[in-house]
Structure formats: C-alpha cells, structure tokens
Structure 1
Amino acid sequence: MLTLHVSTNHEVTIHHNTAKCQSAYQIYRIDPSRQAGENRLDTAGNYFHSLIQTTDGHWLIDGIKQTVVIVSGNPQVHGALRATY
C-alpha cells in the first residue's frame, strides 16, 4: 500500500503542562495490487490530539481522536474498513 498523509491548519492551545492540537487531514491510499478504479481510497477529516509536558520539558501525545468527514473510493483498500463496508 502506498499512502500520503497531509495534516494542515494546526490550532494549538497550551494550558500549563497540557496542550490540545486540532488539525485537518487528508489521507490518500493506493493499493498497487488492485486494478485501476478499485485501487484507491481517500479520506479526510479532523484530528484532535491531547499532549502533556514532561518534567524535562518535552511534549508527549497522550491521546488522539480522528473523525472521518469524507470517504471516497474503495473501502476494501484499507484493512480496518473491510469489515465495515
């Protein structure tokens, strides 16, 4: 599987040693083992990340929520979606 993940419009809010980041994404997937017209799945939506700051000042992601707004193409291309569609 070939993929391209694009994440844009990052909006970060920091409060003491916690932070939230909201962004938009697009993911393009192509499965070269499938025939043209059946080998592509594109999705788009939003990511919601929560982060914590460690005592040494590094930031760690401690939660991710993904919402899917657009699904275009063949869901069979994505293994996790095969049972859903």
Structure 2
Amino acid sequence: MPPKKKNIDFEQSLSTLESLVNRMEQGDMTLEESLQSFEAGIALTRECQARLAAAEQQVNKLIEDQGNITLQTFDAETGDDE
C-alpha cells in the first residue's frame, strides 16, 4: 500500500491559496508561472472544498447524535435559517 500524502491543515492550504492569488494579481508572472500557479490554486481549492465538506458531514453527524437538535436549512442569499 503506498504511503499517504502528509495532509496540510485547512488554514495553511487557504493561506497558500491566498498567496498564489495575490502573486497572480500582481501580473509579474510569466505565462508558464501563471499556468503552474493556476493549476496549484485549483488543486488547493478542491482540497479546501473537500475539507469543508468533510467538516460539514462531521458536524451533521454530531448534531444527529445529540437527538434533541434538528437541522435547519440555511439560505445563503438572505443569511436566514428557514
């Protein structure tokens, strides 16, 4: 079985992504550097999204385990629970 990649924590991944975006916004990169940064940014975005989805599932499981707390949908546009 191949060894697992060492996971970087969410905050570090997000910080790295922000740094990449800032560098790209400066416009000082070559086309090749921009493409490599974009590819790395996409990978970091997917990793962050996966970690957020896993955290949401964990929270939902904890809420279900409590039994007396119910889930409510959240309307992201209005910021209200329904």
Query: TM-score, normalising length from structure 2?
Result: 0.19
- Radius of gyration: which is bigger? 2
The one of the two structures with greater contact order (alpha-carbon pairs below 8 A, sep at least 6) is: 1
Compute the TM-score of the two structures, normalised by the length of structure 1. Answer: 0.19
| Structure with a larger share of its residues in helix | 2
Question: Which protein is richer in strand relative to its size?
Answer: 1
